[in-house]
Structure 1
Amino acid sequence: MSLLKNRKPLPLAFMILSVLYFIYVVSLGSSRMIGDEIGGDPGGMLLPLVLSIFMFIASTILFITDRADDAYRSGGVQKSQRGLFILTIVVSVLYVALMRHVGFIVTTNTLLVTLTFAYMREGVKREDLALWGGGVVGSLALLIAIYTIGRRVTRYLLLASRQGVIPKFLGSNGMTFGITLVLVGILFALVYIAGKKLLSRHDAAAPIHSLFQAGFIAMVSTELLYLIFRQLFLVELVRGIISW
């Protein structure tokens, strides 16, 4: 009991949630791409399992290292902690429930923007709602644009290498991943530079800076996860409404 008394409840909730998510993923079973005759597709279960294990490890580390201080015990931050706890549970449940219908790109980006922005703001605040909504829409629009460019480049490399237009090695799995990664990296760098320049007129403590950072982290993380698992390891990810 003394261990729980000196620890914050949010990491513990994440630990429990990650275990439940792991069990849920295993219960769904796995699927492989049609025509996978050589065993190159590890199945759709891999990414959710990796995410659940990573979340469990990260939350366990936080649970062990993040002790409750005097301000927390006195109740000074409990209200914001409760809000973040409820938000985390609700958004995580919606993420799992909507993934198969909406798709990996949209749900993952929305989840990351929401949680990152809320944690950077140290709580769920009503005045941030409109700003959050604009951030979700804006980050999704930019992410889908960059994702689409990356997909077109990947398809061109694969098709052109098969037709002999370009050397065959440029159409290999590793090369298409590397070229696409460099391209989207450049695009994200341009977005970051442009965003910082546009926001330079705002006060450094303005919430829009937190929103921009949350949106940028979400976009980069989502695209990187997609490239690594879908293009490099050929994991089947749910496309949902982003069907291209």
Structure 2
Amino acid sequence: MTPDVVVDIGNTRMKWGRCEGGRVAEVLRLPHDEPAVWDAELAKLPPPKSAPCRWAVASVNPPACERFVAWAGSHGTVAVFTSPAELPLRVNVDEPAKVGLDRLFGAVAAKSMVAPGTPAITVDVGTAVTVNVIDADGVFQGGTIFPGPRLMGRALHEHTAKLPLIDLGEVPAAGPPGRNTADAIEAGIAAAVQGGVGLLVERLAARYPRPRLFITGGARGALSQHGFRGVEHVTEVPELTLEGIRIAAGALP
């Protein structure tokens, strides 16, 4: 299947990737529950709205996915990924069926961007932060998951009596010391994400030497500018998950 549009439905929003020339050429960020917005954006995309559109869809949000697929089915053909077994990727973890597909699509894309025999590490910063590794044989070997910056800020507010809500859409650039409570929270969250990712990357690089590092996710901020030990090269790829969906769709019959 050669998709016209690939769709990544996340926890808080969805992304469309318009495919052209064997790559994701344009990315749109859209709400979960506004079909009128979807109609308007579809009308702007080639092929014209009157022509059937080939959609490839992946999701970590089943209710939102169900709503979108029902809509997309009236505008063309839809391939929905539901299982790791459908991806062109070997997965070596305890329960492959329970791995989030967003993590695996990032691995599919990263695998396609490295030379044979080169490990890869992916970092995706969104509602959660995931750090995953693909070994030198192209096998997904698992990774780690911890809260993203927005979740950290909300947890501090909701589980303390006086700390204010600091709603962070991305990893902040703030550094210590914070001269007020809000700045102190931002600096702490920045250190938690930067330090956590940095430590995990360093440990993975010690086990899988000389990896390439790929950073993605709408909340990544300036994370790619943080120094990472043990990696060959750091690449920021905003459309990493969408590229993985495109590659996986291309492997379908």
Q: Same fold (TM over 0.5)?
A: no
TM-score (norm 2): 0.35
Kindly indicate whether structure 1 or structure 2 has the higher relative contact order, using CA contacts under 8 Å at least 6 residues apart. 1
Q: Give the structure-1-normalised TM-score.
A: 0.36
Which is strand-richer, 1 or 2? 2
Rg larger for: 1
